[in-house]
Chains A and B, each alone.
Chain A
Amino acid sequence: GQQLNQSPQSMFIQEGEDVSMNCTSSSIFNTWLWYKQDPGEGPVLLIALYKAGELTSNGRLTAQFGITRKDSFLNISASIPSDVGIYFCAGQVNAGGTSYGKLTFGQGTILTVHP
């Protein structure tokens, strides 16, 4: 089946630093999503990308849909303590023009921000 490789697995940074993480796949996805999960809670949608090459921002977060459609990147600028959590990428393939919305998830990047 399809798999997403997310890296790095974990990051330890100082408050104020910028953060970059990425997600790669051996197969093409037509949609990329980025979620953040706080401990013991459900993931929250951060950014959705629908077009190859698309660059989308949400506050201090910026995500890009890779040109090859096999990867996506998430950047967080000027990190703050509340950025702590697990960040997941998710990809979707729309088969035959229809989609039941099935997402394939990466393993997650655990972000720790030291004040």
Chain B
Amino acid sequence: DGGITQSPKYLFRKEGQNVTLSCEQNLNHDAMYWYRQDPGQGLRLIYYSQIVNDFQKGDIAEGYSVSREKKESFPLTVTSAQKNPTAFYLCASKSGASPAEQYFGPGTRLTVT
């Protein structure tokens, strides 16, 4: 089955700790994205990557970092510099053949206390 996997589904961390969220896709998609979702709000773009070894900041990149060493993987690190890290994080991917259609993973709910 082709798709996007995110792990873990739920993640708990203490304030001040960095945490890395996993995103893997076997759709052979070129582009990958990370979004943050807060209650009652739409999705906001954190980082995106169009090709391996290249990534760009989105609208709310402060306090986050990413890497794209493999086409299939786009991990997101939430650093201690992120002032309000508790949120639902969604990873998405898009084929280079499609201008717009992004497909999402199941999400990771991060709680920082």
Contacts and interface: CB of A to CB of B under 8 A. Distances in A.
A105 interface: yes
Contacts of A45: 101-103
B107 A33 contact: no
B9 to A, nearest CB: 8
Contacts of B92: 42
Interface string B11-24: 00000000000000
A57 interface: no
B68 interface: no
Contact of A101 (B44, B48, B105, B107): B48
Contacts of A33: 100-102
Interface stretch (A58-66, A77-85, A92-100): A92-100
Interface residues of B, number: 30
Interface in A75-115: 88, 90, 92, 94, 99-103, 105-108
Interface of B: 4, 6, 31, 33, 40-45, 48, 50, 56, 58-59, 88, 90, 92, 94, 98-107, 109
22 contacts: A4-B42, A33-B101, A35-B104, A40-B88, A40-B109, A42-B6, A42-B104, A42-B105, A43-B43, A45-B101, A94-B99, A100-B48, A100-B50, A101-B31, A101-B100, A101-B102, A103-B43, A103-B45, A105-B44, A106-B42, A108-B40, A108-B42
